[in-house]
Amino acid sequence: MSLFTNVSERFARYQETRRTMRELSRLSDRDLQDLGISRTAIPQLARTGKRF
């Protein structure tokens, strides 16, 4: 794997994580509660795609 490929894949994952965090942060507390997500869990959920 080339350095460029590695960097571009990491950047794509970073962008997806930020997009997910932004979208989840826009939801109301009620919507998040309906989904079973707390505001404090948003960063971890965006990074891993898993709830804890």
pLDDT, tens digit (0-9, with 9 covering 90-100), for 2-51: 888 899 999 999 999 999 999 999 999 999 999 999 999 999 999 998 76
d(CA 38, CA 41): 5
pLDDT at 51: 65
Q: pTM of this prediction? A: 0.79
Judge whether residue 1 has pLDDT over 70.
no
DSSP labels, 1-52:
--HHHHHHHHHHHHHHHHHHHHHHHTS-HHHHHHHT--GGGHHHHHHHS---
pLDDT at 23: 97
Judge whether residue 52 has pLDDT over 70.
no
